[in-house]
Amino acid sequence: MYEIDLYRKVVEELEKRNPVAIATIVAKEGSGPRDLGASLVVTVDGGKYGTIGGGHVEKIIIEEARKALEEGKPRRIKLALRRENIPPDAIPTNQLCGGVVEVFINIVKPPPRLVITGGGNVGKPIADIANTLGWPVVIIDSDPKLASRQRYPYAEKVLVGDPAELVAKHASSPYDIAIIAYGEVETDYKSLRNLVLKGFKGHIWALCSRTRATWMLKRLVEEEKVDLDEVIDRLHMPAGLDINSDTPGEIAVSIISEIICVLKNCRRPVQSMNIAGKWWRAYKAQKLKIKE
């Protein structure tokens, strides 16, 4: 398989909203079946494309790539292509080439895709900011004036219909993010319910008050018998960081900021990077100490 075919497969999988593992030889000492830069791709369905040498070595690399896909994190491994004098940090193999190779397994993930119910006052700035970040957007609304190509020319899809039905149908990948911002109480609850009962594995943000969040969660537990332990870490209700946001644009910023924080596993509570005040107080204290 030529490299262009290998990376076409990567793009194909990413377009399906699937992550891929790319294993590449990044260091080599002595003899080995392939040179630096040789790569293979492993997909979530267990497919293998390309080769790093075949045999036992490749079997180990594929298994490590599958583990990396499950964890969603890259890893670097070292393999000894000999049966004696094996480095302590290397994985032994049954090869007799004589060398040692290091393989970096990178995990390439599709970008977050926002599936938004509600193309109105808050949904619009959320989608606009997401588009600026390069995130695909799907817009859902029952009103064709709000869910239109004119209003969302950049959207991957613009869908008119029942938001509760459409969001559960189109939010399908763990890398999708469902944002419930339609604004009608029962429709928003049904959107949440349908996503949870469907087994949606992505994160859900619901634009609501604390009172409405409590009401929706209680209905899920008492009416649908949902075990929230299975989904609670992916539910964000009310949506957004507490930055005293007021306008639709400000609310959108708070929600997108929280999404970034969750995706990047940022430190919480979120802290400012500002050091100006701390530096100035220390500077003044030092000057005062010198005078004394």
Asked whether the predicted pLDDT for residue 85 surpasses 80, the reply is no
Look over the chain and give the mean of its residue pLDDT values, rounded to a whole number.
92
DSSP 98: -
Q: Which of 13, 113, 99, 94 is CA-nearest to residue 55?
A: 94
Are residues 128 and 152 in contact, defined by beta-carbon separation less than 8 angstroms? no
Q: Which residues contact 27 (CB under 8 A, 6 or more apart)?
A: 36, 101, 102
Residue-level pLDDT at 81: 83
Asked whether the predicted pLDDT for residue 1 surpasses 80, the reply is no
Name the H helices within 84-149. 123-132
In one letter, which amino acid is 180? I
Are residues 142 and 168 in contact, defined by beta-carbon separation less than 8 angstroms? no
DSSP strand pairing (20-29 vs 39-43): antiparallel
Asked whether the predicted pLDDT for residue 171 surpasses 80, the reply is yes
Highest mean pLDDT among 56-65, 70-79, 91-100, 252-261: 252-261
Distance CA 91, CA 86 (A): 8
Q: Domains of the chain by range and CATH?
A: 3-108 (no CATH), 113-263 (3.40.50.720)
**Lateral strand order in the sheet of 100-108:** 48-50, 39-43, 20-29, 100-108, 75-80, 91-92
Residue-level pLDDT at 219: 97
Residue-level pLDDT at 29: 83
Residue-level pLDDT at 234: 97
Q: Which residues contact 176 (CB under 8 A, 6 or more apart)?
A: 17, 112, 113, 114, 115, 170, 200, 202
Over residues 197-227, the pLDDT tens digits come to 999 999 999 999 999 999 999 999 999 999 9
Residue-level pLDDT at 124: 98
What are the respective helix, strand and coil percentages of the chain, to the nearest 5? 40, 20, 40
Over residues 26-66, the pLDDT tens digits come to 988 887 778 888 899 999 998 999 988 778 888 989 999 99
Over residues 127-151, the pLDDT tens digits come to 999 999 999 999 999 999 999 999 9
CB burial of residue 6 (10 Å; 0-12, 13-18, 19+) = middle
Residue entry with tokens 């390439």: 108
